[in-house]
């Protein structure tokens, strides 16, 4: 472990001066941060005013309101972030630091009460991070070197200019590379290509010691695997090398409705076991989660027919698949699809087909977002529950949760997702945690609520977790945050020791991402 830096005479002078300037009101300085921080080059890019610190203690969830950070750094280079981390690491009273991508977390995971939040997007605004650089190599494989602060929508646009695109996505593209790689990054392509963390060749990572390290499967591999799915605990991703493939131009997008869960899930599992489809997801429609949610892509003329089906059955399951195509395959794609979907048991007459561009498909959630924003319904509390459910229990989960618990709340709340994934597309050396079965389902209960009525939805989430516990369903939570070490240890299970050892190795003073509450409490 590196030695603590002795506080030099100049630091003492600056410290005294800082006390003085703050006491005469030149620049108020939070007591919790060392005054010597003001002597660093980055001082002018550190904001301590309430506007900045309030902004950095908000997130998409709008459910937790811990104390604000003491300061927010708007870096103008990766060196700025390195200076900050090094300073904290070498100080006798290290303070916590959280990288913040877009703050799309649900429960304060990108916050740092009394510490410093690093607004990663600032690197994009000044074009001073790693940016997005595409390398086209048809023999060894093409890739994009992308700053951790970049959004996936920008990666899509930049790579398409070269006729290329990443293969693994999230449903929503206004998330940062650093943010999704710290979780996993899942969507309908995961069954085929694995999550986003399975599609990274190399990264530059600034560890909790302030060292900038390049890592990959072969070089500094312990850090590489620690950081992927690592919840921001081991380092700040400043660059990731993302695998690219030739981009298809268009998409055949098909949705099929079912009134029976076992038929629906059997068809889902069949489709992920064969080659040919590029995307597969699934969702539920019921009175409180109708087909016109922000995530839906049905045209309004289709609602009445679907709604009457919901009235008749209570719950309807929607299987959603995609096949990519381009000029070369445009005349065979329909035939191929027919072959792939042969023998499925969806409700006759309830199949809906669309033909859209790749960008319109990948960016499908954005129009729903704009719609909600226009109505003031985007920046509201989001008591989401995201789970991975082992295949062996999904039928019990359907009876206990989808059929019994979810319909109990009758206000319209948001979309509910359910689709299968394959364990061997995930690399067990990463920090991500998934169930111990070859096939598992991701379930997303994506509630939105009014400013003051999120508690019944939170209580329902608790009821779901209690049900799983009682029924012995060995779920793993995704995008969640526990508040006790014991719960985190249970979450990681056999991976806990490795997770803890990696923390001691790469962030021994427990500086990074305190909002996850794994090694720090707020």
Rounded-to-integer distance, Cα 514 and Cα 521, Å: 7
Choose between 172 and 279: whose C-beta lies nearer to ligand FAD: 172
Q: How far apart are CA 182 and CA 322, in angstroms?
A: 27
Closer to ligand FAD by CB, 52 or 110: give it: 110
Size of the site for ligand FAD (CB under 6 A): 35
Angle 168-498-190 (CA atoms, 0-180°, nearest 5)? 15
Does residue 186 bind ligand FAD (CB under 6 A)?
Answer: yes
Q: Which of 34, 69, 103, 166 binds ligand FAD (CB under 6 A)?
A: 103
**Minimum CB distance to ligand FAD smaller for 464 or for 512:** 512
CA-based end-to-end distance of the chain: 25
Which residue, 390, 359, 376, 372, is CA-closest to 446? 372
Contact flags string 239-268 toward ligand FAD, x per CB under 6 A = ------------------------------
Cβ atoms within 10 Å, residue 116: 29
Is residue 171 among the annotated active site residues? yes
Residue 104 falls in the annotated catalytic set: yes
Active-site position among 145, 151, 171, 278: 171
How far is the C-alpha of 467 from the C-alpha of 401, rounded, in Å?
8
Judged by CB under 6 A, the residue of 37, 155, 237, 473 near ligand FAD is 237
Q: Cβ 481 to ligand FAD, closest distance in Å?
A: 9
Q: Least separation, in Å, of the C-beta of 233 and ligand FAD?
A: 8
| Contact pattern for ligand FAD over residues 352 through 381, marking x by CB under 6 A | ------------------------------
231 is a contact residue toward ligand FAD (CB under 6 A): yes
> DSSP 3-state assignment of 325?
strand
> Is 432 an interacting residue with respect to ligand FAD (CB under 6 A)?
no
Interface with ligand FAD includes 64 (CB under 6 A)?
no
Contact window for ligand FAD (CB under 6 A) among 17-25, 170-178, 319-327, 495-503 = 170-178
Could you say which of 80, 119, 145, 171 contacts ligand FAD (CB under 6 A)? Answer: 171
Q: Indicate which single residue of 179, 291, 414, 435 sits in contact with ligand FAD (rule: CB under 6 A).
A: 179
Closer to ligand FAD by Cβ: residue 98 or 341: 98
Residues 6 or more apart whose CB falls under 8 angstroms from that of 254 comprise 320, 321, 322, 337, 341, 351, 352, 353, 354
In whole angstroms, give the CA distance from residue 317 to residue 415: 12
Of positions 34, 94, 178, 415, contacts ligand FAD by CB under 6 A: 178
Element (H, E) at 38: none
Residues near 175 by Cβ (< 8 Å), separated by ≥ 6? Answer: 101, 102, 104, 151, 152
Q: Which of 129, 232, 282, 435 binds ligand FAD (CB under 6 A)?
A: 232
Q: Is 458 a catalytic residue?
A: no
Helix, strand and coil in the chain, % to nearest 5: 35, 20, 40
Q: Tell me the C-alpha distance between 266 and 260, whole Å.
A: 10
CB 515 within 8 A of CB 111: yes
> How many distinct helices (H) and strands (E) make up the chain?
17, 18
Element (H, E) at 351: strand 351-357
Choose, by CB under 6 A, the member of 81, 82, 110, 434 that binds ligand FAD: 110
**H helices within 299-382, ranges in order?**
303-313, 333-340, 358-362, 364-374
Among 53, 142, 159, 187, binds ligand FAD (CB under 6 A): 187
Applying CB under 6 A, among 34, 69, 94, 148 the residue interacting with ligand FAD is 148
Strand, coil or helix: what is 501?
helix
- Which of 281, 320, 382, 507 is the catalytic position? 281
The yes or no reply on residue 99 touching ligand FAD (CB under 6 A) is yes
Backbone φ and ψ for 97, nearest 5 degrees, come out as -140, 130
Binds ligand FAD by CB under 6 A, chosen from 45, 47, 62, 104:
104
Quote the DSSP letter at residue 483.
S
In terms of Cα–Cα distance, which of 492, 475, 479 is closest to 433?
A: 492
For residue 499, how far is the Cα from the chain centroid?
19
5-13, 104-112, 421-429, 488-496 -> range binding ligand FAD (CB under 6 A): 104-112
442 interacts with ligand FAD by CB under 6 A: no
Determine which residue in the list 96, 176, 268, 283 makes contact with ligand FAD, applying CB under 6 A: 176
Q: Is 109 in the site for ligand FAD (CB under 6 A)?
A: yes
Instruction: Identify which of residues 216 and 263 has a Cβ nearer to ligand FAD in the complex.
Output: 216
Residues that bind ligand FAD (CB under 6 A): 60, 98-105, 109-110, 120, 148, 170-172, 175-176, 178-180, 182-187, 231-232, 236-237, 479, 513, 515-516
User: Hey, which residues are catalytic here?
Assistant: 104, 171, 281
């Amino acid at each position: 472990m590196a030695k603590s830096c002795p506080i030099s005479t100049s630091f003492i002078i600056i410290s005294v001066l800082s006390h003085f300037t703050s006491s005469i009101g030149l620049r108020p300085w939070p007591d919790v941060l060392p005054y010597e921080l003001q002597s660093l080059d980055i001082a002018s890019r550190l904001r301590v005013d309430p506007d900045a610190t309030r902004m950095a203690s908000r997130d998409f969830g709008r459910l937790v309101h811990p104390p604000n950070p003491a300061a927010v750094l708007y870096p103008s280079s990766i060196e700025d972030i390195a200076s900050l981390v090094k300073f904290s690491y070498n100080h006798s009273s290290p303070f916590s630091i959280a990288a913040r991508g877009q703050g799309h977390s649900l429960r304060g995971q990108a916050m740092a009460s009394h510490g410093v939040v690093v607004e990663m997007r600032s690197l994009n605004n000044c074009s001073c991070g790693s940016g997005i650089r595409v390398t086209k190599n048809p023999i060894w494989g093409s890739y994009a070197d992308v700053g951790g602060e970049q959004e996936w929508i920008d990666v899509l646009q930049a790579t398409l200019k070269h006729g290329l695109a990443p293969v693994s996505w999230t449903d929503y593209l206004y998330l940062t590379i650093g943010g999704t790689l710290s979780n996993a990054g899942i969507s309908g392509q995961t069954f085929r290509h694995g999550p986003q963390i399975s599609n990274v060749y190399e990264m530059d990572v600034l560890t909790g010691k302030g060292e900038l390290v390049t890592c990959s499967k072969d070089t500094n591999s312990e850090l590489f695997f620690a950081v992927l799915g690592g919840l921001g605990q081991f380092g700040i991703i400043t660059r990731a090398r993302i695998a690219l493939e030739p981009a298809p131009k268009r998409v055949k997008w098909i949705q099929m409705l079912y009134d029976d869960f076992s038929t629906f899930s059997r068809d889902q599992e069949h489709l992920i076991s064969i080659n040919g489809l590029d995307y597969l997801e699934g969702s539920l429609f019921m009175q409180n989660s109708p087909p016109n949610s922000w995530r839906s892509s049905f045209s309004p003329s289709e609602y009445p027919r679907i709604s009457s089906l919901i009235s008749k059955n209570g719950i309807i399951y929607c299987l959603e698949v995609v096949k990519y195509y381009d000029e070369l395959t445009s005349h065979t794609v329909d035939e191929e699809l027919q072959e792939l979907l042969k023998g499925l048991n969806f409700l006759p007459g309830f199949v809906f087909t669309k033909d859209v561009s790749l960008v319109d498909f990948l960016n499908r959630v954005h129009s729903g977002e704009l719609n909600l924003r226009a109505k003031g319904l985007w920046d509201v509390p989001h008591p989401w529950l995201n789970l991975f459910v082992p295949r062996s229990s999904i039928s019990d989960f359907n009876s206990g949760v989808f059929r019994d618990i979810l319909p109990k709340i009758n206000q319209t709340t948001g979309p509910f997702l359910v689709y299968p994934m394959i364990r061997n597309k995930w690399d067990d050396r990463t920090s991500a945690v998934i169930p111990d079965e070859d096939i598992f389902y991701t379930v997303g209960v994506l509630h939105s609520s009014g400013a003051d009525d999120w508690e019944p939805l939170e209580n329902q989430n608790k009821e779901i977790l209690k049900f799983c516990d009682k029924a012995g369903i060995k779920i793993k939570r995704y995008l969640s945050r526990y508040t006790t070490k014991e719960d985190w240890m249970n979450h990681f299970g056999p991976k806990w020791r490795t997770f803890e050892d990696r923390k001691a190795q790469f962030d021994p003073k427990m500086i990074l991402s305190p909002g996850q509450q794994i090694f720090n409490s707020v």
